[in-house]
Amino acid sequence: MIKGIVRFFDKLEDKVRMKLSHRSIAYAFIGGMATVLFWRGVWHTGDLLMVKGGFWGWFFYEPVTIVWTSIILLMTGLFVSNFIGERVIISGLKNEKKMTDKTEAEVDKEEDEIRTMRAKIHQISKDVEEIKNAISKK
């Protein structure tokens, strides 16, 4: 049953993303509003639980919340990726420019290099297949 529900929402997500990807401004507004409202709900739920006092009041007290949420984010590896982003780290390690700092010519050159590498890989794959066929015929 759970798998069916997950599969349904996975397919629904694919369809919605496909349609919205052609309308980037609408996609941004819908995604932005939904994200803000989601976090608003989380925030207010924490506030409601804090007002109850006792354990929940302590648990959702702001300084305590910073500690336990930081621990969770660090343990899951999301702390750095959320606040910096993996692409920024990788480009820094490779001494690359940010994508926004690259010129159109540099982006075109990278795309050409990728196309060339794909063609070479395709050719190597064909050569290996020919070698396999030649060996199997012997």
Q: Which of 16-25, 66-75, 85-94 has the highest mean pLDDT?
A: 66-75
Closest by CA to 84, choosing from 95, 71, 72, 98, is 98
Phi, psi at 23, each rounded to 5°:
-130, 75
Per-residue burial over 36-48, b if 16 or more Cβ lie within 10 Å, else e, is eeeeeeeeeebee
Measure the CA–CA gap between 48 and 109, rounded to whole angstroms. 54
Q: Which two tokens stand for residue 107?
A: 């982006």
Measure the CA–CA gap between 109 and 54, rounded to whole angstroms. 61
CA–CA distances in Å: residue 17 to residues 11, 21, 27, 28: 10, 6, 8, 11
Write the pLDDT tens digit of every residue in 74-129: 888 777 777 666 666 666 666 666 655 667 777 788 888 999 999 999 999 999 99
Write the pLDDT tens digit of every residue in 24-48: 898 999 999 999 999 999 999 999 9
Measure the CA–CA gap between 134 and 83, rounded to whole angstroms. 54
